Amino acid sequence: MSVTEFLRPEGWLGETGGPRYVQLRQRLETGIENGVLPPNSSLPPEREIAEITELSRVTVRKAIQELVREGLIEQRQGSGSFIREPINRMEQSLSHLTSFTEDMARRGMDTTSRWLERGVFLPTPAETKALDLPEGAEVARIYRLREAGERPMALERASLPLDILPNPLEVTTSLYAVLSQRGLRPVRAVQKISAINLEAREADLLGVAEGAAGLSIARTSYLANGRVAELTRSLYRGDAYDFVAELRL
């Protein structure tokens, strides 16, 4: 069945099916699920969809924008709207303190990093307080886009005292591998996870639409002696991760 035949309103568009943009969105979702609209294929232009479905362009645009927010469709500047390849969601345990590199290695996936910031800086008030830095101290800071299987997955920003990470340039893959070599790997952490909508800059880096769902994770990690070793602020794609915790009585 062609896309044009599939989108003709007979049989799926009706007065009792709810708002028309919702009916169109559901029809497009059905097309994606059954392969009429396969991954990487382009949608007809909004004007053409409006003519086929006998809907207004405003209605068509609203339906498409909802699918963009859901991560089923991506809009490429100057090229139109395309069906996204499905992303295999990953389960991340909250019971073990591991690095991104270690997590992906267990899944047999190679990781790469795009460095956005790496060096020694004057600390922010939040870093000074969280890391219990003395007056005049500097902080090691690394900020990078983490990729696995050639897909952007997360934005990670980590801050550490200089005596724990004197040279941030030593970190090329796993931060925890470098800390382990120094005998200063964290052994426990406290995390706070929040659901957010990604802003334009972060969404662009992660390859999703502005406003798409994301997971914000704030983590404070501790050495065996109880000292704070690391402060991280990470943003994960909401369409790629499920965080799982085991609870026992």
When pLDDT is cut at 50, 70 and 90, the band that residue 112 belongs to is confident
249 occurs within a structural domain: no
Among the residues of the chain, which ranges form H helices? 3-7, 20-34, 46-53, 57-69, 100-106, 125-131, 175-181, 200-206
- Name the band, by pLDDT with cuts 50, 70 and 90, for residue 123: very high
Residues 46 and 143 in one domain: no
79 and 94 belong to one structural domain: no
Q: What is the pLDDT of residue 91?
A: 67
Q: Which residues are bridge partners to 74 per DSSP?
A: 82
For residue range 65-101, what is the model confidence (pLDDT) as tens digits? 989 887 788 887 788 899 987 766 666 666 677 777 7
Q: Are residues 126 and 226 in the same domain?
A: yes
**Cβ(65)–Cβ(80) under 8 Å?**
no
| CATH (domain of 68) | 1.10.10.10
The verdict on residue 203 lying in a domain is yes
Q: What is the CATH number of the domain that holds 107?
A: 3.40.1410.10
Average pLDDT over residues 105-125: 88
Residues 123 and 68 in one domain: no
pLDDT in tens, 167-178: 999 999 889 999
- Residue 196 φ/ψ, nearest 5 degrees: -140, 170
85 vs 71: CA distance, rounded Å: 9
Binning pLDDT at 50, 70 and 90, where does residue 43 land? Answer: very high
CA separation (Å) from 169 to 117, 120, 124? Answer: 10, 10, 20
Angle subtended at Cα 55 by Cα 212 and Cα 53, rounded to the nearest 5 degrees: 95
d(CA 196, CA 184): 32
Task: Tell whether 116 and 42 lie within a shared domain.
Answer: no
- 3 burial (CB, 10 Å; 0-12 / 13-18 / 19+) is middle
- Asked if residue 104 and residue 28 are part of one domain, the reply reads no
Has residue 150 been placed in a domain? yes
Instruction: Give yes or no for residue 192 having a pLDDT over 70.
Output: yes
The model's confidence at residue 245, banded by pLDDT at 50, 70 and 90, is confident
Residue 108 in any domain: the answer is: yes
Identify whether residues 215 and 145 lie together within a single domain.
Answer: yes
Please indicate, yes or no, if residue 50 is contained in any of the structural domains. yes
In a domain, 22, yes or no: yes
* Residue where a domain stops, chosen among 83, 98, 113: 83
Are residues 125 and 217 located together in one domain of the fold?
A: yes
Note down the domain range covering 216: 90-244
Number of domains in the chain: 2
Nearest to 213 by CA among 193, 190, 188: 193
Provide the residue type at 68 as one letter: V
Clarify whether residues 34 and 107 are in a common domain.
no
Q: Which of 21, 49, 83 is the last residue of a domain?
A: 83
Residue 113 and residue 165 in one domain: yes
Q: Which of 64, 83, 102 is the last residue of a domain?
A: 83
- Do 181 and 110 sit in the same domain of this protein? yes
44 inside domain: yes
State whether 60 and 112 are in the same domain.
no
Alpha carbon distances (Å) from 125 to 122, 132, 157, 163: 10, 10, 16, 19
Residue 152 lies in a domain: yes
- Among 109, 87, 73, smallest CA distance to 242 is for 87
